């Protein structure tokens, strides 16, 4: 994971965390810049000129001060060593799907349910005995068995480790 100011290549990225003062994080949240959102870097930072990003249908100029508070990862990046099984994600935590493991039939079924690479997933609820797990995916709730959730590798968003 790196901050926007560290990027040397344009392209699509996923916001993994917004750091910094509470006032700044609140302002960025009001703009919609939240962990799990996708943005496109149009022009990288060079010197003290700031950078240009495309976010939710609009072009935004961003100072280096603000850009260094936003941690991102490439949208099409392979699963990193930080990826954990979805079944290990704590209650009310979110993650970005990095990889689907398991048998081909299971992978296809998960993809049919909207669990594709780069999708934001939130653990909404867990049954009293730990199985099944209720998720929020693409605006709807989905319940999965713990064994199925273990086949989905995610990178936790909003937490810098």
Tens of pLDDT along 77-88?
666 677 889 998
Burial class (CB in 10 A: 0-12, 13-18, 19+), 121: buried
Lowest mean pLDDT among 24-38, 66-80, 137-151: 66-80
* Entry pTM: 0.72
Answer yes or no: are the C-beta atoms of 75 and 15 closer than 8 Å.
Answer: no
Tens of pLDDT along 14-60?
888 888 888 988 988 898 888 888 899 998 887 777 889 999 888 98
């Amino acid at each position: 994971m790196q901050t926007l100011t560290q990027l040397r290549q344009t392209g699509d990225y996923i916001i993994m965390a917004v750091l910094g003062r509470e006032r700044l994080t609140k302002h960025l949240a009001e703009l919609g810049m939240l962990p799990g959102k996708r943005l496109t870097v149009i022009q990288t930072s060079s010197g003290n000129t700031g950078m240009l990003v495309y976010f939710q249908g609009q072009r935004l100029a961003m100072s280096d001060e603000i850009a260094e508070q936003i941690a991102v990862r490439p949208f099409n990046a392979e699963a990193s060593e930080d990826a954990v099984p979805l079944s290990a994600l704590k209650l009310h935590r979110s993650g970005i799907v990095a990889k689907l493991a398991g048998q081909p039939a299971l992978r296809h079924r998960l993809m049919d349910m909207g669990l594709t690479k780069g999708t934001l997933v939130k653990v909404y609820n867990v049954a009293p005995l730990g199985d099944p797990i209720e998720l929020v995916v693409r605006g709807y709730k989905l319940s999965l068995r713990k064994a199925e959730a273990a086949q989905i590798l995610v990178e936790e968003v909003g937490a810098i480790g």
